[in-house]
Amino acid sequence: MRRILALLPCLLLLVVAAPALSRPWSPPPPYRLPNLSGTWFNSGDENQPCYIRMRPDGSALFTNENGSTAPGEVRVGRVIIPDWSAGEDVPGLEGRIRGDRIIWPDGNFWLREPR
């Protein structure tokens, strides 16, 4: 009888966990991506508007202050634009998202609102 009582918690755990173990594994839900769509301003300058057109899946079209466009991707905390470069030796451009600011590797930034 004592053995049965000692095994009871293990048996209960199996009964509770068995349905979950029989389902196929799926990854956890993705983090919620920030909505970056809209007008941005290079260095906060109202005369240098930039644009981001973003889809729910994180893909986006970026337009810089010179009117050049390139596809890219929004991820948690950063944006990646493979067709733009941070320099001759650095393929692709990655910016860090910090609130209403995107900071580029050269220290330049885009702001949501002009200064």
Cβ neighbours of residue 49 closer than 8 Å, sequence gap 6 or more: 39, 40, 41, 42, 65
Q: Which DSSP helix (H) or strand (E) runs through 20?
A: helix 2-22
Residue-wise pLDDT for 18-31, tens only, equals 555 556 665 666 67
pLDDT, position 109: 98
Cβ neighbours of residue 48 closer than 8 Å, sequence gap 6 or more: 41, 42, 65
Residue-wise pLDDT for 35-47, tens only, equals 999 999 999 999 9
- List the chain residues with pLDDT less than 50: 13
Q: What is the pTM of this model?
A: 0.73
Tokens at 53, concatenated? 């057109």
**Which residues on adjacent β-strands are paired with residue 41?**
49, 111
**Domains plus CATH for the chain?**
38-111 (2.40.128)
pLDDT, position 27: 60
pLDDT, position 91: 84
